Amino acid sequence: MPVRAENPQQIFSAYADRLYQIKVLEKQSRRKSALGSGFVVSRDGLMVTNYHVVSKFIHEPDKYYLEAVSVDNKVVAITIEDFDIINDLALVKFHAKNTPMLEIRKTTLRKGDSIYSMGNPLDLGTAVVPGTYNGYTTQSYYKRIHFTGAINPGMSGGPVIDGDGKVVGVNVATAGNQVGFLVVAKKLLKLLESYQTRKPGKLDYQRHIEQQLIKNQQELMQTVLQADWKTTRLGEAHVLNEIVPFIPCWGDKGNSRKNKDRFTTISIQCRPKETVYIKQGFNTGMIEVQYSWVDNISLNSLQFTNLLQRLYGGAGPGNSAYEEDVTEYVCHEGFVEKPDERAVFCSRAYKKYKGLFDVLYISTTVDKTDKGLISHFTLSGVEKAPAMKFLARFLEARKWN
Amino acid sequence: MELVIELVGRGNRHFDFMKISGERITLGRSFDNDVVLADPYICPTHAVLEEDENGTIILRDLGSVNGTFCKNQQSIAERQAVNSGDEFRLGKTRIRIYRKGHAAEPSIRLNRIEKALNFIGKPVVTGALALTAVLLLLFQAHALELYEIKFARLLSEPIKFSISVFAWAFVWSMYARLKKHEMHFLSQLAVTIIYGLLVELFEISGSWLAYNTGAVSGIDTFSGVIIIPLSFGLIWINYYLSGYQTPKKRLAYTAGLITLIFGFAYLLSTPDADRFRSRPQYFTVIYPPGISIYSAGSNTEYMQDAEAVFDKAKKKVKD
């Protein structure tokens, strides 16, 4: 029976037996390689944690094994049952009959409600952190709960419960200074539902990731491509501004004492706050748009060209990935018109997830030496068709003065 | 008989000519010989040259300790007929004999190459070349400078260039000197400067063409490869200036040195080329509108070509 608890002490003593520490251990050395928290959601031992906590095991199941440790230090072996890479959730399971569990809350909270985050911060032992519910994150595509309270490494995957002991979210990230982020309970309910309806049989982890990345990318790119792209003025050019609310833009004036008598630059950079974590050193889901406007004050035409050249030559990927994840970039170089620009379009393919690419475009105006515009975007983890549509709209959006 | 005896040093280098006449010409280390040789491996009375009744020159070893050898390293028996122009060896000394009437090699003509090399080796010409190179480098440094122009900073490239060009020419001159040949320092310097200018010319025109025609990868490879024949030419002339070689030998030496230099450069570059590059590699040079002749195609055309990168990237997954 859930008990109504009014203070963290009561919360802790009432629900600590449903908490586990999740460990990813390296097979040969039998040492811990990743740590997180988890909580039980069914009588037969189904547990919830973050995808990123167990991602090492998911990518290299031959090299690692999983364990869960209860508050009273009982160690149980666990298996991966399902996961949602986009919302950073994973379901794991140990053998149990009638083990205590947490219920998931189906109704929404009000801003200011007291909620309690639980987990095992920094491998120091189970802790409870009281905090406040502050609604959903704004300017965000993958809506998260904004939690005011300290979430520390190791608490990832732990539950956040209300005073009735019902789960309202899952610890996932922190922005420091008492700003934490939680996966919304609704996403967890969805995952549990799809798990229960899924055909039994062994999960092919890589295919499962591939399907989820492709589906997410289709929805994301559709939202982006259907949006009415707003433009703004940058120098004498019209450039894209916040194409969708979840890709906010920042401005920057790149002028220092060193160059102020020779040229000035202003730039605008738009990028989402969140990306999709696949594994350490490999993330995706980035959509970046960037422009720099350059005014020539006293450079001669060769010097000005050299400046454009430097800005044009510096394009890099918007996400990080290694050799085992992606191919090297393949590029097409040429000129586009109205205004005349030198433009390069590159893509690299995902090695394990068929049909997905990282894409990058950068161009520089080449027909003027008193002013210039560098236009740039990167997309990561997209299919060819939406990437080409994005390029077409990006080219259409260019307008000089 | 009247003979000319030539002492030959290592590497076929000429040491000395001696003109001697007599019925018997003795060779050895003691001072009563007709030809006195300072080689300690030679006996006091080592060998003798005589003429037989048919007028053939006969070489006789006088029972020396270390023997007398024909050119093919065969130890001669007691007597051996030798012809004008033949070579033999006593101890460690190589000797060639000629009859008085032996036809001399035709003289080598001063050829066009030599004339040209002499011309560019004139102080005025070399100076002008050096000045051109330095001015060009200064101009380039100035064209690349985005911030405050500081003369000291502009000079860094010309200084680096001058040092390397001087060092290269100096090494070749020293090599010539070692071979007791004229140093030709100014000619070596001039040739090296011309080489530097040509490399730069090819690079600039190559990248200009690549920018304007869009044939990026082809021209890139071309300007990467052109440096090999250019360097071959430079080293060939360096050899030419630093001593007499048969054309065959000069080609072989040049080819050897080129293989060595580029082989080494290749070995040094491979670990880098194999490393995974997470950034795109593309041609970043652009030119100001005044000196460009590109024609921007339509955006639809650009997009059609751009679309091909997906399939190329996909193909890379399989490799």
DSSP B171-195: HHHHHHHHTT----HHHHHHHHHHH
**Is B220:B210 a contact under the CB 8 Å cutoff?**
yes
Given an 8 Å threshold on Cβ–Cβ distance, is A303 in contact with B277?
Answer: no
Mutation for testing the B interface, residue in A328, A341, A398 having most B CBs under 10 Å? A328
Nearest to A390 by CA among A369, A372, A371, A376: A376
A299 vs chain B: nearest CA distance in angstroms? 7
Average pLDDT, rounded, for chain B = 87
Residue A310 confidence (pLDDT): 92
pLDDT of residue A283: 95
Residues 6+ apart with CB under 8 A from A332: A344, A345, A346, B302, B305, B306, B308, B309
Residue range B276-288, pLDDT digits in tens: 889 998 988 899 8
For the sheet with A287-296, list strands across it: A249-253, A263-270, A287-296, A371-382, A357-365, A341-349, A330-336
pLDDT, mean of residues B238-243: 90
Residues of B with CB under 8 A from a CB of A: 142-148, 211, 214, 216, 276-290, 292, 294-299, 302-303, 305-310, 312-314, 316-317
> In angstroms, what separates the C-alpha of A240 from chain B's closest C-alpha?
18
Nearest residue of B to residue A331 by CA position? B309
Question: In the prediction, which pLDDT does A177 show?
Answer: 83
Nearest to A306 among B143, B280, B296 (CB): B143
| Interface contact A346-B310, CB threshold 8 A | no
Q: Which alpha helices (H) appear in A244-326, and where do they start and end?
A: 301-313
CA dist A197 to A82, A191, A200, A363, Å?
12, 10, 9, 48
Identify whether the C-beta of residue A208 lies closer than 8 Å to the C-beta of residue A83: yes
B211, B288, B308: residue with CB nearest A332: B308
**What is the least distance, in Å, from the CA of B239 to any CA of chain A?**
40
B303 contacts A391? CB cut-off 8 A: yes
Q: What is the reported pLDDT for B12?
A: 67
Q: What count of CB pairs under 8 Å joins A to B?
A: 154
* 8 Å CB contact of A300 and B312: no
pLDDT at B272: 65
Q: Where are the beta strands (DSSP E) in A137-254?
A: 144-148, 159-161, 166-176, 179-184, 230-234, 237-241, 249-253
Binning pLDDT at 50, 70 and 90, where does residue B94 land?
confident
- Mean pLDDT, rounded, for A212-226: 96
Contact call for residues A386 and A225 (beta carbons, < 8 A): yes
Tell me how far apart the terminal alpha carbons of chain B are, to the nearest angstrom.
81
Q: Tell if the CB–CB gap between B302 and A302 is shorter than 8 Å.
A: no
Report the percentage of chain A scoring pLDDT > 70.
Answer: 97
Interchain CB distance below 8 Å, A336 and B310: no
Higher local confidence (pLDDT), A158 or B246: A158
Contact B313 A329 (CB under 8 A): yes
Mean pLDDT of the residues in chain A = 91
Strand-pairing partners, residue A364, are A342, A374
The stretches of A85-242 forming alpha helices (DSSP H) are 185-197, 205-226
Q: Are the beta carbons of B49 and B28 closer than 8 angstroms?
A: no
Tell me whether residues B296 and A321 touch, CB distance under 8 A.
no
Cβ–Cβ below 8 Å for A323 and B276: yes
Using a CB-CB cut-off of 8 Å, the residues of chain B touching A385 are none
Q: State mean pLDDT over B81-98.
A: 87
The residue in chain B having the minimum alpha-carbon distance to the alpha carbon of residue A306 is: B144
How close, in Å, is residue B153 to chain A by CA atoms?
15
HSE-up (13 A, CA, CB side) for residue B128: 6
Q: Which range scores top for mean pLDDT: A2-6, A210-214, B86-90?
A: A210-214
Q: Which of A356-370, B140-154, B244-258 has the lowest mean pLDDT?
A: B140-154
Selected residue of B140, B276, B286 to mutate for chain A interface (largest A Cβ count, 10 A): B286
> Rounded to the nearest 5°, which phi and psi values hold at A140?
-140, 140
Kindly determine whether residue B310 and residue A312, on different chains, have CB atoms separated by under 8 Å.
no
**DSSP 8-state class, residue B104:** P
B166 CA: distance to closest CA in chain A (Å): 30
Query: Is the confidence at residue A1, as pLDDT, over 70?
Result: no
Interface with chain B: mutation pick from A265, A301, A331, highest number of B CBs within 10 Å: A331
Chain B residue with Cα closest to A384: B310
pLDDT band (50, 70, 90) for residue A344: very high
Confidence of residue B273 (pLDDT cuts 50, 70, 90): low
Q: Which of A306, A341, A357 sits opposite B310 (nearest CB)?
A: A357
Instruction: Encode pLDDT of A305-338 as tens digits.
Output: 999 999 999 899 999 999 999 999 999 999 998 8
Per-residue confidence band for A39, with pLDDT thresholds at 50, 70 and 90: very high
pLDDT digits (tens, 9 = 90+) for A80-119: 999 999 999 999 999 999 999 999 999 889 999 999 999 9
A84 to chain B, closest Cα gap in Å: 26
Q: Rounded to whole angstroms, how far apart are CA atoms B178 and B243?
A: 10
Cα–Cα separations (whole angstroms), residue A379 to A285, A341, B23: 7, 21, 100
Question: Which of A51-65, A290-304, B71-85 shows the lowest per-residue confidence on average (mean pLDDT)?
Answer: B71-85
CA–CA separation, B313 and B318 (whole Å): 9
Among chain B residues, the shortest Cα distance to A364 is held by B286
Separation in Å, CA of A273 to nearest CA in chain B: 22
Whole-number pLDDT of residue A8: 80
Whole-number percent of chain B with pLDDT over 70: 96
Of the candidates A330, A334, A366, the beta carbon closest to that of B313 is on A330
Q: pLDDT digit string (tens) for A261-281?
A: 789 999 999 999 889 999 999
Q: Rounded mean pLDDT of A46-58? A: 96
Distance CA B39, CA A205 (A): 87
